[in-house]
A and B are shown apart, each in its own frame.
Chain A
């Protein structure tokens, strides 16, 4: 278990922290879009 984790941990750490950085970008861009969506008036249909 320990040996496996020693190998796996760096991979998981990369996935997690790189993913977190990317997710932060997702959150920021979506938040800007969301503000537009909330403020935009409905035209009736999509």
Chain B
């Protein structure tokens, strides 16, 4: 546990504030990690093929397939970066290699990528839905099911909706929905990602199998091979080259242009670096496994679906009708009855909706994470990460991201092609910066490196990273080519990235001045100590302490209550703030160099003044965490705390908070100890729960019943050794046997018992139970709960 610590020299009048530098995480399998990344990466299958074909023509699927194969090499670069830094994302790697200015530039490009992920995913999902509605209108009209009045409303044409406007409207609605969810503080769950990928896999398997049958029955022609003669670029796809002599004899350069128009098929690789930290041990192996799953899955799905679309959907309708919903078009040109094909199209749209709307959420969470991360590093001012009063989220960053996304959707008017072109700018430049930085780090970084992109050749004492250099060369050449061929993306991308860069640079300057003051104030009031991990020795507390969680300096009633109720001569009070990190936030561990925001300074100052008011001492602790409940359980275990005290959440009831803490306790690794959890309401009511297995509350009549049975048994000879506990053991053993024989019957009886009115507990001891809060509506003065464990 806690290893090296560093800090400022101790002063007697300062309160010790320990900053844990290792994020408290719950680890996930490589399957779940792959599912999280694929939710972003595989979603591009729904639009990449259509966009590429509009730009390049019928040879597009070969380029999509080429990009997907090349993504194996890009993935290798990310695996190497993650083997060096647990968070091997762009910001961390570029900052380490090329310094702050390049890091800000690369993060600006990454933000452009992230912010565009939302609009392109939302608009694409909208296109699939709008396309389906129009298809349903068409089918209904063919069967004569459309009323005349409706026909009249559409000037005697088949009823239809404008797909672009409907898609934009849909994207706006979903983005606003996720804005609100993220403002409230969304639950990030690998379960959801896994479910979505399971459903998507069903669709992919059906799609591939059905396509194979269709091709076997009807014969097939492969798309024209990607030779310069076969490539037919649209005027838009030539960008600044349009009308030049150069554009008439493109030759091999045309292949690079086409590759550049297909590169968005591998967008989402960055997410791999962001989930790396959560991957369970053995980390590197599992990271590689996740990376293989991701690359194979996306190659099969994105690559093959683009190829199949060109092979199955007739040229006459493919670009004209299905350019923005290519997989839906594929469903309609399978062999089999129309109704079955239509049903499969509905399934495709449902899956598209799930994965694409999930990508909108991922983009908000990812952008929020990255901006929070740079904000912690002092590149954005505190103003941005000031928490929401009610929900505690960095709502100003969420507002900024969603505002930019809504602006982008409206500006695009639902045009997936324009969004895709712009999106590719962010994707290719963030990859290019990352690979360049990794190349520089081969010569500059001498720390631990778990794996290297092969091949590497040695000339004398110098190792030449041939593999890494090759990947960087492709990315750089494609990125530069795109500058010439994507006029709108180049203008928008440069303008956006520059705007972000200027905001970052200006904020950093403001922050430097401000940080000097905050740092001075922190040093004056607190003895800052940095610890890798948390244990009792690091915090200098005895076993059985009371852990109080704090977040908002305006809501410290529960802290006052806990300090009042605790005799600090016997029991220590530890005040803990969990610094929440979402994916991409803490690209590297929290350190002293990172800014303590003024609101954190305020929070700790107020916590100390509450303790001083009551004439007691407290210990302060900052813990970086992905999940607050998991962090509380891990900290309580590490400190051997006997009680945890929290204020009432603005989002959950007391029982819900206890349930979530119980879940985190169950998920925590052994050894772990039980503790009491107390939720203090603003008006002073306290709910108490026991977390972990514990002796349940027994009804008076149950205690009497056990005693009666025991008395009765005692009348028989040879029963001297029987105790009350033996009776309970026998009863439980029989219940377990009955439960194994007939679960339903036992559950039915138990439900009946549970619903019968509960008699009042006897005596003066009320044993709290995880499901039965002991609510004491007795103001702040009365001693809360019992026990030997909680505040006395």
What residues make up the interface of A, taking CB atoms closer than 8 Å to B?
Answer: 1-2, 5-6, 8-9, 12-13, 15-23, 25-27, 29-31, 33-34, 37-38, 40, 42-46
From DSSP, what is the main secondary structure of chain B's interface residues? helix
> B300 interface residue, CB < 8 Å from A?
no
What band does the interface of chain B fall in when counting residues whose beta carbon is under 8 Å from A?
Answer: 35 or more
Point out the residues of chain A lying under 8 angstroms from B455, CB to CB: 25-26, 29
User: Nearest Cβ distance between residue A9 and chain B, in whole angstroms?
Assistant: 5
Point out the residues of chain B lying under 8 angstroms from A30, CB to CB: 72-73, 76, 453-454
A46 and B245 contacting across the interface, CB-CB below 8 Å: no
Complex interface bits, B467-485 against A, C-beta within 8 A gives 1, otherwise 0: 1011111111110110010
Given A18-B470, A27-B73, A30-B454: A2 in contact with B476 (beta carbons within 8 A): no
User: Nearest Cβ distance between residue A23 and chain B, in whole angstroms?
Assistant: 4
How many angstroms from the CA of A43 to the CA of B454 in the assembled complex? 24
Q: Of B241, B256, B454, B466, which one neighbours A33 at CB under 8 angstroms?
A: B454
Given A15-B474, A17-B252, A34-B292: A1 in contact with B282 (beta carbons within 8 A): no
Point out the residues of chain B lying under 8 angstroms from A2, CB to CB: 244-246
B69 and A27 contacting across the interface, CB-CB below 8 Å: yes
From DSSP, what is the main secondary structure of chain A's interface residues? helix
> B762 interface residue, CB < 8 Å from A?
no
B245 and A15 contacting across the interface, CB-CB below 8 Å: no
Instruction: State which residues 216-245 of B face A: CB under 8 Å.
Output: 240-241, 244-245
A26 and B76 contacting across the interface, CB-CB below 8 Å: yes
User: Nearest Cβ distance between residue A37 and chain B, in whole angstroms?
Assistant: 5
Q: What number of A-B contacts does a CB cutoff of 8 Å give? A: 116
B282 and A31 contacting across the interface, CB-CB below 8 Å: no
A34 and B282 contacting across the interface, CB-CB below 8 Å: no
> B284 interface residue, CB < 8 Å from A?
yes
Residue of B nearest to A9 (CB): B253
Complex interface bits, B253-280 against A, C-beta within 8 A gives 1, otherwise 0: 1011001000000000000000000000
Given A33-B454, A37-B289: A26 in contact with B73 (beta carbons within 8 A): yes
How many angstroms from the CA of A34 to the CA of B291 in the assembled complex? 9
Max chain B C-beta neighbours (<10 A), residue from A13, A16, A22, A46: A16
B246 and A40 contacting across the interface, CB-CB below 8 Å: no
Top 4 A-B pairs, shortest CB-CB distance: A22-B470, A19-B473, A19-B474, A16-B477
Given A34-B288, A38-B289: A26 in contact with B256 (beta carbons within 8 A): no
Point out the residues of chain A lying under 8 angstroms from B289, CB to CB: 37-38
A16 and B282 contacting across the interface, CB-CB below 8 Å: no
B253 and A42 contacting across the interface, CB-CB below 8 Å: no
Point out the residues of chain B lying under 8 angstroms from A15, CB to CB: 473-474, 476-477
Q: Assuming A21-B470, A23-B73, what are 8 further A-B pairs, CB within 8 angstroms?
A: A2-B246, A5-B246, A16-B474, A19-B474, A22-B469, A22-B473, A26-B454, A30-B73
User: Nearest Cβ distance between residue B448 and chain A, in whole angstroms?
Assistant: 11
Q: What are 19 A-B pairs with beta-carbon distances under 8 A?
A: A5-B244, A12-B481, A13-B252, A15-B473, A15-B477, A16-B256, A19-B471, A19-B474, A19-B477, A22-B471, A26-B73, A26-B76, A26-B453, A26-B467, A26-B470, A27-B76, A30-B73, A34-B288, A46-B285
B284 and A46 contacting across the interface, CB-CB below 8 Å: yes
User: Nearest Cβ distance between residue B661 and chain A, in whole angstroms?
Assistant: 29
A6 and B285 contacting across the interface, CB-CB below 8 Å: no
How many angstroms from the CA of A46 to the CA of B475 in the assembled complex? 31
Point out the residues of chain A lying under 8 angstroms from B253, CB to CB: 9, 12-13
A12 and B256 contacting across the interface, CB-CB below 8 Å: yes
How many angstroms from the CA of A27 to the CA of B76 in the assembled complex? 8
How many angstroms from the CA of A26 to the CA of B72 in the assembled complex? 8
A23 and B70 contacting across the interface, CB-CB below 8 Å: yes
> B779 interface residue, CB < 8 Å from A?
no
Residue of A nearest to B470 (CB): A22
Instruction: State which residues 129-151 of B face A: CB under 8 Å.
Output: none
How many angstroms from the CA of A43 to the CA of B281 in the assembled complex? 10
User: Nearest Cβ distance between residue B276 and chain A, in whole angstroms?
Assistant: 13
> B7 interface residue, CB < 8 Å from A?
no
Point out the residues of chain A lying under 8 angstroms from B281, CB to CB: 44-46
How many angstroms from the CA of A45 to the CA of B289 in the assembled complex? 15
Given A26-B73, A27-B69, A33-B454: A1 in contact with B470 (beta carbons within 8 A): no
How many angstroms from the CA of A16 to the CA of B244 in the assembled complex? 22
Point out the residues of chain B lying under 8 angstroms from A16, CB to CB: 255-256, 259, 473-474, 477-478, 481
How many angstroms from the CA of A30 to the CA of B292 in the assembled complex? 10
Max chain B C-beta neighbours (<10 A), residue from A8, A22, A45: A22
Residue of B nearest to A25 (CB): B455
Instruction: State which residues 555-598 of B face A: CB under 8 Å.
Output: none
Instruction: State which residues 294-339 of B face A: CB under 8 Å.
Output: none
A20 and B480 contacting across the interface, CB-CB below 8 Å: no
